[in-house]
Amino acid sequence: MTIKPWKVISSRIEKDYGIFSFRIDRVQSPRTNKGYDFYTLMSTDWINVIPVTPQNEIVLIRQYRHGIRQITLEIPGGLVEGHDSPEEAARRELREETGYKEAEMILIGRMRPNPAIHNNYCYTYLAKDVTLAGELELDEKEDIEVLLRPLDDVPRMIREGEISHSLILAAFYRYYMEYLPREKA
């Protein structure tokens, strides 16, 4: 069977919550010709940044995540806001959430976080040779603790569940499986 796109009969934004909107699409199956409603969380694109110091340490952040009501260990990240490019957003989030500044920012990939219910991309950047440049610049809804760990400890932290956020895991996958082999070539 050849998979075909579904016909969009109607589409409307049901609610706008600022960081995301809720879209309802009425679509028709090309196989059965029946109509169904599908729900999409619409958001601007996201970024995350793998910051590595000249000493080969990774800059990590610890923060409270309301969805799971727990503190997580992550890399800096956030929304692409306004007219920012993804790279500009990566530089901004790195600086605001960690106080660090990069010598070089490299795009190592982009992915669809969850195409079943989200419409956006998440871009992953490598920030090379980061150095502390100032204080954190957190908004009033953020509490962040900055930590430095040896980059070599990251696979263990993932295996042991210390790092468990799926977008962070995907970022490290891109770094270890795709970026490092090219860097060594």
Are 35 and 80 found together in one domain? no
Quickly count: other Cβ atoms within 10 Å of residue 168's Cβ. 21
Residue 171 pLDDT = 97
Pair 30, 5: CB distance under 8 Å: yes
Are 36 and 99 found together in one domain? no
Dihedral sign, Cα of residue 44, residue 123, residue 126, residue 106? negative
Which residue is it, tokens 């263990």? 156
- Residue 171 burial by Cβ neighbours in a 10 Å radius (0-12, 13-18, 19+): buried
Q: Which residues of the chain have pLDDT under 50?
A: none
Residue 19 pLDDT = 87
* 1: in domain: no
Are 16 and 51 found together in one domain? no
User: For the segment 83-130, what is each residue's pLDDT rounded down to a tens digit?
Assistant: 999 999 999 999 999 999 999 999 999 999 999 999 999 999 999 999
Full residue range of the structural domain in which residue 61 is found: 46-184
* 176: in domain: yes
Are 122 and 177 found together in one domain? yes
Are 21 and 66 found together in one domain? no
Cα 102 from Cα 155, distance rounded (Å): 23
Are 70 and 149 found together in one domain? yes
* 171: in domain: yes
Pair 71, 63: CB distance under 8 Å: yes
- Residue 2 burial by Cβ neighbours in a 10 Å radius (0-12, 13-18, 19+): exposed
Residue 181 pLDDT = 66
Global confidence as pTM: 0.92
Are 35 and 93 found together in one domain? no
* 119: in domain: yes
Are 75 and 161 found together in one domain? yes
Residue 185 pLDDT = 57
